């Protein structure tokens, strides 16, 4: 029923730093809604893809999922209420800020704000990236994917699969329980992990159309090595080449390229690891980093490789 993750809502005590990173480093377009208080970040022709508001309190991040029309919104609202979630209708001001035709919101079992909407509008002006680049891969696949660490794995998995209508892409039990879920051709739109630690937002993946734009983002991050949460590498499941950039609130952007798409005949897989190479998680304790290195060495010894499949390049070969 949910067709895409269409936008993200952020409340941050670090609005200026968010604007700087979004525009100069990632290459998003910043549109000021109210100076010093609220900005819309654009990644494509849509009205907004991130709505970032200043708060004096704790940083937070919520997600806006889209479905086709008002009837579906009513259906999903009823399903949520039946499952015990208290939903609230978006106000006229909230709809206008987001550029959506209708919206409800509620809290997931970890307290993350979830919005369900329909009718995300196009912007009145063309997308102008914050730095020269070939754009982001969005469209029917939505803004990208989000990975969460949850304290309520079963409840969250139930919410996404049985109420939102996501399907399982793949999963693993070791070193902790992770489930990847899709709702469109993007290999996964959600990743749910139960690590035993407290619930938190792990990352939001944004996908560049062009490999060189990812490489330039990595060059910029190398100037501030402490900003790199996970080094350049390639994921074993969605085949994304990426690195992870810490944002001003401490959770991360995964900046990626050439994510795999999947179709209706997809078979659920048990994963042998998280990455084919690279992706050193600088924030992990030493023994976990070493465990990850051993997995990479095993995959390398087995010669496990994956094709690069993308039709998203905007740069043209010279004639
Ligand atoms: Fe990811």
Q: How is the chain split into domains, by residue range?
A: 4-124+133-302
Q: What residues pair up with 9 in beta bridges, in sequence order? A: 51, 62
Given a contact cutoff of 8 angstroms between Cβ atoms, the answer to whether 208 and 254 are in contact is no
Q: How far is the CA of 310 from the centre of ligand 1 (A)?
A: 17
What share of the chain in percent tops pLDDT 70? 100
**pLDDT tens, position by position, 15-47:** 999 999 999 999 999 999 999 999 999 999 999
Residue 262 has pLDDT above 90, yes or no: yes
Q: How far is the CA of 170 from the centre of ligand 1 (A)?
A: 13
Q: How far is the CA of 18 from the centre of ligand 1 (A)?
A: 20
Given this model, what pLDDT does residue 173 score? 84
Q: How far is the CA of 69 from the centre of ligand 1 (A)?
A: 29
Buried-exposed string 221-260: b where 16+ CB fall within 10 A, e elsewhere: beeeeebbbbbbbbbbbbbbbbbbbbbbbebbbbbbbbbb
Given a contact cutoff of 8 angstroms between Cβ atoms, the answer to whether 43 and 143 are in contact is yes
**pLDDT tens, position by position, 169-218:** 999 987 789 999 999 999 999 999 998 889 999 999 999 999 999 999 99
| Average predicted confidence (pLDDT) for the chain | 96
- Cα gap 38→97, rounded to integer Å: 10
CA triple 114-117-123, angle to 5 deg: 115
Q: What residues pair up with 11 in beta bridges, in sequence order? A: 53, 60
C-alpha to C-alpha distances, 203 to 8, 29, 73, 82, nearest whole angstrom = 12, 20, 27, 30
Given this model, what pLDDT does residue 102 score? 98
What share of the chain in percent tops pLDDT 90? 90
Q: Which residue has the tokens 């969250």?
A: 156
Q: How far is the CA of 260 from the centre of ligand 1 (A)?
A: 12
Q: Which residue has the tokens 């993007």?
A: 186
Q: How far is the CA of 20 from the centre of ligand 1 (A)?
A: 23
Given this model, what pLDDT does residue 263 score? 93
Q: How far is the CA of 254 from the centre of ligand 1 (A)?
A: 6
Residue 295 has pLDDT above 90, yes or no: yes
* Confidence category of residue 319, pLDDT binned at 50, 70, 90: low
Structure tokens at 33: 């809604």
Q: How far is the CA of 238 from the centre of ligand 1 (A)?
A: 8
Q: Which residues, chain by chain, have CB under 5 Å from ion ligand 1?
A: 205, 254
Given a contact cutoff of 8 angstroms between Cβ atoms, the answer to whether 181 and 161 are in contact is yes
Q: Tell me the CATH architecture of domain 4-124+133-302.
A: Roll (3.10)
**pLDDT tens, position by position, 213-245:** 999 999 999 999 999 999 999 999 999 999 999
- Cα gap 59→10, rounded to integer Å: 7
Q: What residues pair up with 244 in beta bridges, in sequence order? A: 230, 254
């Amino acid at each position: 029923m949910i067709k895409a993750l269409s936008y993200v809502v952020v409340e941050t005590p670090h609005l200026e730093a968010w604007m700087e990173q979004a525009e100069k480093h990632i290459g998003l377009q910043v549109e000021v809604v109210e100076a010093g208080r609220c900005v819309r970040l654009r990644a494509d022709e849509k009205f907004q893809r991130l709505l970032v508001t200043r708060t004096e309190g704790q940083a937070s991040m919520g997600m806006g999922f889209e479905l086709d029309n008002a009837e579906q919104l009513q259906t999903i609202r009823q399903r949520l209420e039946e499952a015990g979630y208290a939903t609230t209708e978006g106000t006229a001001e909230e709809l206008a800020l987001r550029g959506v035709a209708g919206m409800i919101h509620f809290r997931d079992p970890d307290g993350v704000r979830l919005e369900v909407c329909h009718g995300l509008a196009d912007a009145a002006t063309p997308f102008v990236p914050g730095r020269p680049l070939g754009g982001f891969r969005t469209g029917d696949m939505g803004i990208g994917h989000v990975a969460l660490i949850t304290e309520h794995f079963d409840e969250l998995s139930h919410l996404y699969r049985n109420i939102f209508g996501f399907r399982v892409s793949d999963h693993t039990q070791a070193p902790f329980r992770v489930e990847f879920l899709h709702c469109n051709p993007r290999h996964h739109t959600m990743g749910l992990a139960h690590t035993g630690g407290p619930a938190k937002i792990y990352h939001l993946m944004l996908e560049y159309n062009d490999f060189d734009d990812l490489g330039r983002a990595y060059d910029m991050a190398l100037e501030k090595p402490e900003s790199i949460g996970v080094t350049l590498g390639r994921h074993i499941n969605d085949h994304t080449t990426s690195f992870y950039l810490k944002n001003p609130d401490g959770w991360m952007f995964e900046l990626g390229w050439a994510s795999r798409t999947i179709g209706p005949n997809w078979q659920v897989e048990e994963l042998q690891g998280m990455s084919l190479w690279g992706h050193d998680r600088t924030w992990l304790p030493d023994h976990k980093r070493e465990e990850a290195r051993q997995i990479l060495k095993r995959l390398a010894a087995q010669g496990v490789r994956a094709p690069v499949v993308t039709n998203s390049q905007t740069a043209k070969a010279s004639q």
